[in-house]
Chains A and B, each alone.
Chain A
Amino acid sequence: MAGSEADAARALARDRRARVLQALGLTAPLLVFLAFTFLIPIGALLMRAVENPEVARALPATVAVLDSWDTVSAPPDGAYRAFADDLLAMAEPADAGGLARRLNSELPGARSLVMGAFRQRESFATLDAPAAKAAFLALDERWQQPELWRVIARNGSRWTPDYLLASVDRRRDATGDVVAVPEEQAVFVRILLRTLGIGATVTLVCLVLAYPLAWWLSTLPVRKANRLLILVLVPFWTSVLVRVAAWIVLLQSEGLVNRALAGLGWIDRPLELLFNRTGVIIAMVHILLPFMILPLYSVMKGIPRDYQRAAVSLGSHPLGAFVRVFVPQTLPGVTAGVLLVFILAIGYYVTPALLGGPADQMLSSSVAQYANVELNWGMACALGAVLLTATLVLYGVYRRFATGEGLTA
């Protein structure tokens, strides 16, 4: 008896194991795909946002000497000697270039100081510490500024919170306290808020436009609704760039819209529809509208009309029945559509770049600026991390307030 029970338990366990293995086998290709295309790149991005290898790699001796420096008095002569040693020890000129870029991003002018010294490094070879200091100062007086050496000392470790702090307009001061950056340098918080604002506006407009349309589509016979849905989907298949270009043609001051309005005699001067917030919102709503219509439609389609009819037959006003019976049942679709549109919208880059003015650029344009133009990838990754965090926080908020099933629609 006991033996057969143990046998049964073993068989059960074996069966369970087989099922787990089977499930793993079936999902493995997707998991591997996600790991390589999604999780690892995002991990690398987050790593790069806090990584700070340049100074630690290029200036090990200097960093060691500066360890015992009080960061306020004049930098020790030994630091100049150590800096010369580090320059002489560099295997590749690119190390000096990387160091120059890193220091320059915190202290403008450091690039030419470092590269100037690097080109002269052979002449420092045999000098003792005071002579080395004199030689550096002879090259350029700015070598004596304590700020330069503070920047080196501060970046001596391989990891830094500086990029992340900078991406929310904060920095570490000379004593290591986190403080706000000066007003004329503060930019990212404002751009982040604007990004969220544009995202919210676009989402709201999409919802207002899509809700009645989706409702109307859901009342039609399936064949007719499908035919109309194709009209919703056609723009979906066109490249975003093409659609943006089309909006430029339509909205420019002598474009179709302005000419039509002027022809009708409704306006005397062309409306400014392009290169401002209006143009950005119009085009983004157009591009993102299908992402709102489709989840709304699919949820509305599944709601039996009988409930509304029942409410009306029990004495409710048709409008009251719509608001109190139908609308609550569409909330899963609303949640899904809002989340989808909002998350897509806050990542927009091309549309604001082409249709917006200077005050309409979103956070992605800052990411592009640092990645493409400044080649400061730490900063680009930190800004990316900020955007990712904002998205995850909002997603978390939604999870709390929305019903769980809303996200499966």
Chain B
Amino acid sequence: MKSRIFGIKYCGGCNPGYDRLELIDSIKTGLGEQIQWTSFEDSRADKVLIICGCSTQCAEVEHIPQEKRVWIHTPDFDRSSLKE
């Protein structure tokens, strides 16, 4: 039974420092079945992962509520925060 819903928002990826799609795949694998994944535009999302290719973090997020935003710009971020 899936308990939480996560949205995904990407920056445009003009010059990413890592493979953003690979990262999201590894996050999905790590979190397993407990998460239902959706678009960042889905209002049901509990959190929206904002996957940015570099520290500029230029993704447009004005339509994403502040409290839902989880900014990620490196594969080395603290993944435990996603399980809270």
The answer to whether A and B assemble together is no
